[in-house]
Chain A
Amino acid sequence: MTDATTTEISIRPERVRVWDIWVRLFHWLLVASITIVAVTGFLFDASWIALHIVAGLSAVALVVARVIWGFLGPTHARFANFLRRPAVVLSHLTGKESGRYLGHNPAGGVMMLGLMGIVLMLGVTGLAGLGGVLRTGPLLSLPYPVGAAGLEIHEALAVLLLVMILAHIAAAIFESRRSRENLVRSMLSGTKESRPGDHTGHPERARPFIALFLILGLAVTATLLLPNGGRAPVGAPVAELDASFDDECSACHLAYHPSLLTGSEWRALMAGLEDHYGEDASLDPETTARITDWLVAHDAATVQTRPARMFAGTLGTSAVSMTDSRVWNHLHEDVREEIFLRAPVYSKSNCSACHGDAETGWFSPFHIQIPKEPSK
């Protein structure tokens, strides 16, 4: 395989440092964090969201640090070394220009910029979804539709990123064969074989202390800005439950939060307590009126939560109970049927068996814990 090289250069070829330690650490830590974020995002259920966010924010932090290093790092770390005019990229891709680039080649440079850009956009859209839809994080009061749109874009970008990663891997293999060198090993060792006629680019000295200062400054700013500091989001479900509602409804079941249904659904439900999901749950007229008024006053229209957006209106149309609805079944399709029937859940209506915050109306994925089956 290396015949051509050995005849050309009789002595052992000189190896030069191309990828400094920070570029290599960045690359492989990004591989790790993107792997975690992709597996938790594409394959695992909602209860993995905390790990998904940690890995995703790590990827964003890595890219931000890499951008700074792109201006202050050594020669091949710099954007100036691998971002080239479109005409150069085109002539490289069409094969008109065939010299070997020691750092990223012009097409690779475009890919680097694209990958970094997509990771940053995934971070922004993810935080938008976290804020608008789950109403937490730095953007916790974003209007719900903005958050929902953010999540749609987030999903599309995630697929795009996967495709780009596959292209990146394919290109690394293709380029390794074409130039008869192991580019993956170079990303581990940091060195490449020096060959005559290589495009090396303008040598640059790294400025590690300025870079470190900037990265630390950004890290401190982010840790100060990112947590929501206990601020209450706009459109939160009512936190204080009416005493009658709580007493009467929770006598038989979880006191389903008023924000889960529309006012008209609550009215219909409260008007039919004599036959309430197969049982007589009638109340005296004053209590019924009081609870109905309170439910309607805090119904789904008054909040901007995900359960409100998903479940409100389901009773009015096709479903008799929320657990019959298409959306409920879609959300719970990963949960085995017998989990619902056995101890300690017993019933699909027993939300709080797995959703620690069910009573609050939030149903946050951060608070899902499917109980272990009891040992026999």
Chain B
Amino acid sequence: MKYLLILPLCLLAAPLAAQSTTPSDLIANYTAEAGVAASAERGQALFTASHTGGKPDTPSCTTCHGADPRAAGLARTGKPIEPLAPLANPERLTDLKFVEKWFGRNCNSVLGRDCTSAEKADVIAWLSSL
């Protein structure tokens, strides 16, 4: 019977698991790792610039996300991408695993390498400043 108590506890914990973090926590953590203060300007520059190190079809973050993170983007497959800015899409930047998965994939696609903690902090700082 004791085990039955575990179930409501799990249910209570479920929203916490989905909302494992907040934009400000993410900036704080990545800044701590980087040892440099986050800069929204540098984040914007990285996000909107065209890069050459990555895969040829995706020279920039804006290729798929669009130039305005408050608006929806469009994947090369024709599928819409929800806005990145937390103000336009409160679900954004609330799940650490999700954030790490997509930084991992997309930094490689666009830059041809992993993003540094400083770059992640910059981009998130810019996105949450919008």
Contacts and interface: CB of A to CB of B under 8 A. Distances in A.
B55 A253 contact: no
A253 B79 contact: yes
A279 B64 CA distance: 11
Nearest to A350: B78
Contacts of B109: 278-280
Interface of A is mostly: loop
Interface in B111-125: none
A346 B66 CA distance: 15
B58 A346 contact: no
A350 B79 contact: yes
B111 to A, nearest CB: 10
Report which residue of B74, B76, B78, B109 has the largest number of chain A beta carbons within 10 angstroms of its beta carbon.
B78
Contact of A346 (B56, B74, B108): B74
A270 interface: no
Interface residues of B, number: 15
B61 to A, nearest CB: 12
A103 B80 CA distance: 67
B108 A274 contact: yes
Contacts of B57: 278-279
Contact of B75 (A252, A280, A345, A353): A252
B106 interface: yes
A369 interface: no
A275 interface: yes
A347 B56 CA distance: 17
B58 A279 contact: yes
30 contacts: A250-B79, A252-B77, A252-B79, A253-B77, A253-B78, A253-B79, A254-B77, A254-B79, A274-B108, A275-B55, A277-B76, A278-B56, A278-B109, A279-B55, A279-B57, A279-B58, A279-B76, A279-B105, A280-B55, A280-B104, A280-B105, A280-B106, A282-B104, A282-B108, A346-B78, A347-B78, A349-B77, A349-B78, A350-B77, A350-B79
Interface of A: 250, 252-254, 274-275, 277-282, 344-347, 349-350, 353
